[in-house]
């Protein structure tokens, strides 16, 4: 289930993917406005994880949805199915191939990870923000966790105009992950069952 825990740390996409309303002075202001104003969203995504030596890459794709506070859903479709679902209280990690489900409390699963951006009204309480040089046609802001005990070193959010289109994450193991977003919809009317998970019949369920 380690891949699921890593995916939760990548849940920045659920917290970051949105087009912010209005014009802002820089990428940091765009991110602050998103945390303050955007209540929900959904998008397709592609995730590329690069090994510490930069020689190996793993590409996966799927869809996600989020709604404040603390609710999100990742459905990985390729190269194999996985699901991560939070109803705001608990997070379920489901491996269909093994028919295994791990359940954790939201606070334990998220901590100071980027997905915490979903719930915070003041992003600076958890992350230190610093604007970065423009690159690849995007404006970038780096968010560094104030809690240095976690596995995330930093994340960078890349905006094009008023829309955030990419998130890069570096962890303490030297891995880099780049997420690209497609067909983003913000403040969508998401049905409550989006964030409900029922363990399949016969699944091996472990609660931590």
Provide the pLDDT for residue 161. Answer: 74
Provide the pLDDT for residue 9. Answer: 52
Q: In tens digits, what is the pLDDT along the chain, a chain of 208 residues?
A: 555 444 545 554 444 444 333 444 699 998 888 888 888 889 999 999 999 999 999 999 999 888 888 888 989 999 999 999 999 899 999 999 999 999 999 877 765 565 665 545 567 888 899 999 999 999 999 999 888 877 889 989 888 877 778 889 999 899 999 989 887 788 888 999 999 999 999 999 999 8
Question: What are the strands, taking DSSP E only, across the chain?
Answer: 40-50, 57-67, 71-78, 82-87, 90-95, 100-105, 127-135, 138-145, 152-160, 163-171, 176-186, 204-207
Provide the pLDDT for residue 191. Answer: 94
Provide the pLDDT for residue 202. Answer: 92
User: In sequence order, what are the residues at sequence separation of 6 or more whose Cβ sits closer than 8 angstroms to the Cβ of residue 164?
Assistant: 16, 17, 18, 19, 20, 30, 31, 34, 157, 158, 181
Give the domains, in start order, of the chain with CATH numbers.
2-199 (2.50.20.10)
Provide the pLDDT for residue 14. Answer: 43
Its pTM stands at: 0.80
Check: CB of residue 179 under 8 Å from CB of residue 167: yes
């Amino acid at each position: 289930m380690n891949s699921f825990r890593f995916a939760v740390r990548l849940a920045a996409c659920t917290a970051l993917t949105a087009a912010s309303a209005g014009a802002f002075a820089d990428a940091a202001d765009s991110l602050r406005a998103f945390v303050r104003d955007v209540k929900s969203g959904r998008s397709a995504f592609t995730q590329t994880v690069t090994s510490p030596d930069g020689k190996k890459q793993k590409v996966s794709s799927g869809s996600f949805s989020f709604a404040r506070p603390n609710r999100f859903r990742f459905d990985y479709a390729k190269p194999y199915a996985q699901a991560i679902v939070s109803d705001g209280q608990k997070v379920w990690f489901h491996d269909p191939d093994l028919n295994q489900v791990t359940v954790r409390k939201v606070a334990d699963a998220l901590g100071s990870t980027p997905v915490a951006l979903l719930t915070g009204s003041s992003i600076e309480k958890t992350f230190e923000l610093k604007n970065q040089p423009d690159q690849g046609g995007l404006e970038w802001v780096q968010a560094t966790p104030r809690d240095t005990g976690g596995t995330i070193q930093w994340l960078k959010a890349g905006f094009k105009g008023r829309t955030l289109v990419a998130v890069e994450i570096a962890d303490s193991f030297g891995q880099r992950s780049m997420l690209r977003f497609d067909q983003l919809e913000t403040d969508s009317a998401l049905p409550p069952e989006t964030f409900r998970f029922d363990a399949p019949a016969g699944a091996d369920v472990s609660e931590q």
